[in-house]
Chains A and B, each alone.
Chain A
Amino acid sequence: MIGARRTPLTGGFRVQRWTRLSIASAVAALVVIAFLAVVPFVFGADVTEQLTALLIFVILAVMWNALAGYGGLISVGQQAFIGLGAYGTIFLTQHGFAPYLAMVVAGLGAGAVAVPTSLIMLRLRGGQFAIGMWVVAEIFGILVTLDSGLGGGTGVSLNGLDVYAPGYRQAYTFWLTLACTTVLLGLVFVLLRRRIGTSLQAVRDDEEAAASLGVNVVRSKRVLFVVAAAGCGIAGALYLANTLFIQTGSVFGVQWTAYMLFMVLVGGLGTFEGPIIGAIIFYLIQAQFGDSGAWYFVGLGATAIAFALFLPHGIWGAIDRRLRLRLLPVGYTLRKRETPAAAGTDQPATNA
C-alpha cells in the first residue's frame, strides 16, 4: 500500500493517496511508537501510568469516532463494551487465565458480544440507536451487578498482577496498551482505507443513495460496530489493569460517552488524526481541572456543544482545511496533473 498510487484519470487529474508529507508522517508515527516503547526504561512508574491512561483515551476516541464519524452511528452506550472488557478480564482471571492474556481475550469477547447485539441495534437509526445502546449498557451493567462472583455492585479487584513488582507491572501494562493502541489504530486505518471506508462515508452522507448504488450498508456498519466494540473492550480491560479496581457504576457509567464525545468533537469528528489530538487535549485538561468537580464537567459539556455547533470538524478539521495536511490519508486527494500553472491549485476532493 505504501507508495504513491497513480491512477490515470481523464481531464488532467490524478488520484493520490500518499503525498510526500503523509509518507513522512507515517514514518514519524513509527518513530513516536518506538520512542514510546522505551518510556518505561527512562521514566518512573508514575509517568508510565499517566501515559497508559492517555493511550486508553486515544483508543476510546478513535473507536467512538470510527462509529460516529465514519458510520454515522452516535452511541451513548459504548461503556457497555468498556465494562464487558473490564469485567470479562476479572471473570477470566478467576478461571485461570493469566491476567494479560485475559485482557486481550476479554476485549475480543466484547467484540464477539457485539455481533448479536448488532443484529438488534443496527435496525435503529439516529437517536434511537443512541439511546438503544445506552439501554444495552444498562442491561450489561445490571447483569454484572447480579453476579456476586464479580463483586456485585460494590466493586472488585484484579488479582494475579501482584506476581510482578509494581514497576514491572506498570511497564508491562504500558507495553500491552501501546501494542493494542498500535494494532487497533492500524486496523481502523486499514479498514477505512479499504472499500469499506469509502462505502461507510457514502452511507454516512446519504444512506439511501449509498444503498441504491449497491453499498452493503448493514454489513459495513456491522464490521465497524464489532471493531469499535472490541476496541472499547480492550480499552476497558487496560483501564482495569491500570487502576486494578473497578465498580459497575463507574465502568458502565455514561461519563465514558461524555469523554469520548468531548475528545472526538474537539479533535475532529470524521477525521483520522482528530481523535488522537482530542485525546491528548482531554488528557491535559483532565490533569489540570479534573479535581474541579462538577464545573469541570459543565465545561466539558459546554465545550462539546460549542464544537458541535461552530467547529463541527474540530481542531484538526480546521487545521486540515487551511493547510490541507493529510498526514495519515484514509481518503483520496484529487490533484491536477502537475503543470507549472496548476501546481498551486491542488484541491482535496474527498474529505476523509
Chain B
Amino acid sequence: MNWVNVLLQGVLLGGFYALLACGLSLMFGVMRIINLAHGDIAVIGAYLIWVIVNQTSIPPWLAALLVLPMMWVGGYVVYVLLLERSRRAGQLVPLLTTFGLAIVIENVLLQVFSPDDHSLLSSTGTLATSSFSFGGLSISFFGVFTLGTAVVVLAGLQLFLSRTSSGRQMRATAEDPDAAELVGINARAVYAKATAIAVAIAGLGGIFLAIRQTFNPSTGPTQLIFAFEAVVIGGFGSPWGTLLGGIVLGVAQVIGAQVNPQYFVLFGHLVFLAVLASPRGGILARRGRAL
C-alpha cells in the first residue's frame, strides 16, 4: 500500500469517526454534558438494525430508516428519565449517571445477545465490500458512502442550527438558558430535542458500524473514545472541526497500522494527547464552543 492510499483510507475512516462524534459534540455544545454512554448508544443502533434485518425480511436500507426514529424516541426517553434530573443536580452528576447508563446498556446487551460478535456484512451484499479503481487507487465504495453521509449530516446540522427557528433557539439556549426562558423558549424541550437528535445520529453511526465491522456488547466504549478524540482534535469547534478531527484521527490510525498493525489505536491516542498538550489544544478544549 503506498502512502497516498494510506492517506485516503485514513480520510474515509475519518468520515466514520466524524459521524460518531457528531452527536457527542452536539450534546456537549447545547447542554455541556459529555454523554459517557454515547458509544453504547451507537451500539444499540447497530443491534437494532441487526435484529430487524435478521428477524424480518425488511431490506437493510429500509431497516436503517426504521432505526433512526426509534433512536430519536429513545433520545427523548433518555433525556426525560435521566438527563433532565442529572443536569439540574450539577455539573458532575451527568457524568456519573451516563457512566451508569453505559454499564447498564453494555450488560443488558450482553445478557440478550451474548458476548459473540455480530455483523451485518453478510446481509448487505456487495455494498460493504465492493470498491472501485481511481488513478491506480482502490477505493472502498462504502468508505466513500460513509464519508459522504458524514458530510451531509454535518452540513444538515449546520444548516439546522443557523437557518431554522428551532436551531436558533437551540443556539440561544446553549449560550444562556435563563435568558432563553425569558424570551419564551422552553429550555427543557430544547434540551430534549438536542438529545433526541444526538441519539438519532449516534444510531446512524451505529448502523454504519454494523455494516463496516463486527460488533459485540463491549464495542461501545471504544466508539466513545474515538468520537471524543475526533471532537477534541477538531478543537470543540464547528461541525467542520469535528470532520477534520475525525479525519486526522483516521489518518493517524491508518499510518500507525502501516508502521505496525498493533499501533493502529495507539497512534490515534498519541495524536489526541499531542493536541491536548499543545497550547492551542488546551485553550480550545477549555473555551470550546460546539455550535
Contact = CB atoms under 8 A, between A and B. Distances in A.
Q: Do chains A and B touch in the complex (CB under 8 A)?
A: yes
A295 B107 contact: yes
Contacts of A119: 277
A95 interface: no
Nearest to A254: B221
B285 A123 contact: yes
B103 A298 contact: yes
Contacts of B91: 126
B277 A120 contact: yes
Contacts, number: 129
Contacts of A142: 262, 265-266, 269
B189 interface: no
Interface string A66-79: 00100010101000
Nearest to A146: B262
Contacts of B272: 135
A130 B34 contact: yes
B270 A139 contact: yes
B33 interface: yes
Interface string B220-263: 01001100110010000000000000000000000000000010
Nearest to B38: A131
A312 B89 contact: yes
Interface stretch (B3-11, B92-100, B152-160, B204-212): B92-100
User: Which DSSP category, helix, strand, loop or mixed, fits chain A's interface?
Assistant: helix
A319 interface: no
Given A131-B228, A139-B270, A309-B85, A301 B100 contact: yes
A126 B265 contact: no
A126 B111 CA distance: 31
Interface string A295-318: 111101110110011001000000
A268 to B, nearest CB: 13
B82 interface: yes
Contacts of B221: 134, 254
A124 interface: yes
Contacts of A121: 276
Interface string B67-108: 000000000000000100110010111111101111110111
A150 to B, nearest CB: 14
Interface in A232-278: 254, 257-258, 261, 265
Interface string B22-54: 000000100011101000000000000000000
B148 interface: no
Contacts of B232: 128, 132
Contact of B99 (A128, A135, A139, A257): A257
Contact of A128 (B34, B85, B93, B102): B34
Nearest to B103: A301
B180 to A, nearest CB: 21
B111 A295 contact: yes
B96 A74 contact: yes
A120 B34 contact: no
A298 B95 contact: no
A304 B95 contact: no
A293 B262 contact: no
Most central of A128, A254, A265 by chain B CB within 10 Å: A128
Given A127-B34, A261-B100, A298 B108 contact: yes
B86 A130 contact: no
B169 to A, nearest CB: 24
A301 B106 CA distance: 10
Interface in A27-74: 68, 72, 74
Nearest to A134: B225
Interface of A: 68, 72, 74, 76, 119-121, 123-128, 130-132, 134-135, 138-139, 142-143, 145-146, 254, 257-258, 261, 265, 293-298, 300-302, 304-305, 308-309, 312
11 contacts: A74-B96, A76-B36, A120-B273, A124-B276, A126-B92, A132-B276, A135-B269, A135-B273, A258-B103, A298-B104, A301-B107
Given A131-B34, A135-B225, A143-B266, 14 more contacts: A123-B286, A125-B286, A126-B95, A127-B95, A135-B228, A135-B273, A142-B262, A294-B111, A295-B107, A301-B102, A302-B104, A305-B101, A308-B96, A309-B86
Report the 7 A-B pairs with minimum CB-CB distance, sorted nearest first: A127-B34, A301-B103, A305-B100, A301-B104, A297-B107, A294-B111, A294-B107
